[in-house]
């Protein structure tokens, strides 16, 4: 990388850090990431468990259903979060302008507002999509002939609980609480949800 390119890259990174510091978007995006990743895992598990309970392990159907749900959650997350964040950020921006008694058009505050809105919306939509794809991975390998449907089902469930445990650890680190207990709480929540979904599929 040339010195000019490196300087441009560092300048871009510094701008992002400055925008995040001004807007406080990092904490909001972090919450969205955890919540929506959790939703993505549970939604995917629900589809997989229900499909396996009702009609057997139809790999292609599960891939289509989970992928469709993941795309829907991504689109909904990005659009919904963008509109909500934009409204909230604009309200804060107007309050800031009134407090400073000056026009802030083109200022670092306006740029930070626009970046934060886009950043939070992107995290909101990407998080459940990535989580769903991770849970779906064993079925993709099964469709390619590398795994049997039963192994893909078991693997997917294991991956789901490992993912939930990892999210719990992440939350534990953020809140500076016991990471093991935090991870186990996530697993318990996922397990309880799985049992409810399985029982509902039998009705």
* Confidence (pLDDT) at 12: 62
Residue 184 burial class via C-beta count within 10 angstroms: exposed 0-12, middle 13-18, buried 19 and up: middle
Distance, in Å, from the CA atom of 151 to the CA atom of 89, rounded to the nearest integer, reads: 47
As a whole number, the mean pLDDT across the chain is 81
- Alpha-carbon distance of 163 to 155, in angstroms, equals 12
Query: Would the pLDDT of 177 be above 70?
Result: yes
User: Which pLDDT belongs to residue 5?
Assistant: 57
Residue 116 scores a pLDDT above 60: yes
Please report, for the chain, the start and end positions of each structural domain, with discontinuous segments joined by +: 3-202
Give the span between the Cα atoms of 53 and 117, in whole angstroms: 41
Residue 11 clears pLDDT 70, i.e. is over it: no
Higher-pLDDT residue of 24 and 32 is 32
User: What are the Cα distances from residue 188, in Å, to 40, 131, 161, 168?
Assistant: 16, 18, 9, 11
Which tens digit of pLDDT belongs to each residue from 53-91?
A: 776 788 899 999 999 999 998 998 888 877 877 777 666
């Amino acid at each position: 990388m040339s010195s000019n390119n490196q300087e441009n890259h560092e300048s871009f990174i510094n701008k992002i850090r400055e925008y995040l510091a001004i807007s406080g978007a990092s904490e909001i995006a972090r919450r969205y990431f955890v919540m929506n990743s959790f939703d993505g895992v549970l939604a995917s598990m629900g589809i997989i468990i229900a499909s396996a309970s009702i009609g057997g392990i139809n790999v292609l159907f599960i891939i289509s259903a989970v992928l469709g749900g993941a795309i829907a959650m991504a689109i909904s997350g990005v659009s919904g979060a963008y509109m909500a964040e934009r409204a909230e950020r604009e309200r804060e921006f107007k309050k800031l302008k009134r407090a400073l008694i000056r026009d802030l058009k083109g200022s670092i505050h306006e740029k930070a507002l626009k970046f934060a809105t886009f950043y939070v919306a992107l995290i909101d939509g990407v998080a459940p999509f990535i989580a769903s794809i991770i849970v779906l991975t064993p079925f993709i390998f099964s469709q390619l002939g590398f795994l049997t449907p039963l192994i893909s089902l078991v693997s997917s469930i294991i991956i789901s609980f490992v993912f939930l445990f990892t999210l719990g650890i992440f939350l534990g680190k953020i809140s500076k609480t016991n990471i093991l207990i935090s991870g186990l709480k996530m697993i318990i929540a996922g397990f309880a949800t799985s049992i409810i979904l399985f029982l509902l599929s039998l009705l």
